[in-house]
């Protein structure tokens, strides 16, 4: 069988050139704006969400490409942060369910997509269809600021 993964994968997995490590803890990146900053993780509300409230939680600290490599303190701290983010999203947006997706094969640094699902969802009981992502619209600045304020208040 032919290798399908990039030749650079092992180096990426080891942290060489990791974009998440290099960026530090920015208030904003190309994808989203930070609304949660904890000891072990930051959460970013996506600027172009496929679903209202869609956020990404990024592990902060050392480079870790897979949750199985966390220390006991890191696993507890990180997943506690993911739970805190999910609880705030429940309070603000009242989704029917939230999907927690940890897909570290595109970016070899632990991060979790926190994807609210609603009763009018185009793909109930399955993955959100590709068209939901393709058709997503960018939040206007006022809408983005209002949602960030609501999420931050829900952390209280």
* pLDDT at 156 (0 to 100): 78
**Sequence-ordered list of residues with C-beta below 8 angstroms from that of 34, at least 6 positions apart, any chain:** 25, 26, 27, 28, 42, 43, 44
pTM of the model: 0.96
For the chain (156 residues), the mean pLDDT of every run of 10, in chain order, is: 94 94 95 98 98 98 96 98 98 98 93 97 91 96 98 94
Closest CA to 41 of 7, 84, 9, 1: 84
* pLDDT at 35 (0 to 100): 98
């Amino acid at each position: 069988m032919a290798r399908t993964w990039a030749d650079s994968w092992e180096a990426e997995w080891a942290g060489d050139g990791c974009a998440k490590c290099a960026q530090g803890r920015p208030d904003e990146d190309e994808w989203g704006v930070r609304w949660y900053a904890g000891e072990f993780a930051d959460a970013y509300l996506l600027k172009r969400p496929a679903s209202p409230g869609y956020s990404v939680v990024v592990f902060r600290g050392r480079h870790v490409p897979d949750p199985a490599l966390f220390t006991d303190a890191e696993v507890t701290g990180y997943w506690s942060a993911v739970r805190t983010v999910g609880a705030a999203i429940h309070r603000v947006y009242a989704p029917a369910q939230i999907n927690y997706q940890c897909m570290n094969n595109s970016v070899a640094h632990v991060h979790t997509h926190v994807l609210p699902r609603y009763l009018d969802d185009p793909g109930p009981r399955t993955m959100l269809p590709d068209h939901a992502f393709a058709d997503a619209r960018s939040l206007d600045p006022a809408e983005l600021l209002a949602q960030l304020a609501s999420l931050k208040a829900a952390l209280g």
